[in-house]
Amino acid sequence: MAQDDQSTAIQSSGLNIPKEVEEKFPQYVKLIKVSQSMNDEERQYWIDVLPIMTEDQLENLQSILDNEQKQLKEVESEYEEGVQEEVKHFNLEFDELKYKEKKRMRREAEKQHEIEEQEHEEAILAELANL
C-alpha cells in the first residue's frame, strides 16, 4: 500500500478500511464490523469488495447483515425472557425457603410451649401431692 493510501485508511479492530469506503458505505461498514458470523479475515474481504459490488449485491449484503442483527436481537430477547423466568422461579424458591423456616420455628415454639405446659402441670401436681 502506498504512503498516501495508508494515511487515508482507518484502522478498526484489525480491519484496514479505506477512508473512501468508510465515507461511501458507512451503513455497510458498520454492519460488517458488528457481524458476529464473520471473523476479521471475512470482514476485511467484504470491506475490500464493497467498492466493486453491484447495487443488487449491496442490497443482498445489507439484507443478510440486517437479518443477522434481527436474529441476534431475537435471541437476546428470548435469553432475557428466560433469565426473567429463572429469577421468578428463584424468588418462588426463596419464598418457599422462608415459609419452611417459619414453619420450623413455629414447631419449635410449639414444642417449647408444650414443655413449659408439662412443667407447669407437674408443679401443680407436686403441690397437690404435698397437701
Provide mean pLDDT across the span 107-127.
Answer: 90
Whole-angstrom distance between the N-terminal and C-terminal Cα of the chain?
117
* pTM of the complete model: 0.51
Summarised one tens digit per residue, pLDDT across range 33-78 is: 999 889 999 999 999 999 999 999 999 999 999 999 999 899 888 8
Mean pLDDT along residues 118-124 = 89
Residues, the chain, total? 131
What number of CA atoms fall less than 13 Å from residue 91's CA on the CB side?
A: 6
Alpha-carbon span 21 to 28, nearest angstrom = 9
d(CA 121, CA 77): 66
Kindly tell me if the per-residue pLDDT of 3 is higher than 80. Answer: no
With cut-offs at 50, 70 and 90, classify the pLDDT of residue 2. very low
Q: Which three cell numbers stand for residue 95?
A: 419464598
96, pLDDT greater than 80: no
